[in-house]
Amino acid sequence: MEPDSDFSAKLREDCANVMLPLTQACTLPPPAYTSAAFFARERQRVFADAWLFVGHGDDVSKAGSYYTTQTALGPLVLLRDGDGVLRAFVNSCRHRGTAVPR
């Protein structure tokens, strides 16, 4: 489903009200927290084409150390390889699709 197909004009207007001056602004409408269409649109428009902070290099300071995290785009594993290079991967087994390290 295209993320915009379920994104009603009313919800679009309600979301625009968040950006008004503080004395006129309001919080996001409830569907912003529960709508699958809103979440799909948010992932596409906010997270898909931008750098995301997922952790600090000190969290994996030693070669061989790793940690896992969850983002709006899916699960990630961050690690420091044997050469000391910081790397990030989707935390999913190609064969079974389950998380690799936990």
What integer pLDDT is reported at residue 17 of this predicted model?
Answer: 83
Q: Which residues contact 89 (CB under 8 A, 6 or more apart)?
A: 76, 77, 79
pLDDT digits (tens, 9 = 90+) for 7-40: 677 777 777 888 889 898 888 888 888 888 888 8
* pLDDT (0 to 100) of residue 41: 84
Res. 63: pLDDT tops 70: yes
Structure tokens at 89: 């991967």
Position 1 scores a pLDDT of 41
Mean pLDDT of the chain: 83
Backbone angles phi, psi at 82, to 5 degrees: -60, -25
Domains and CATH numbers, the chain: 9-47 (no CATH), 53-102 (2.102.10.10)
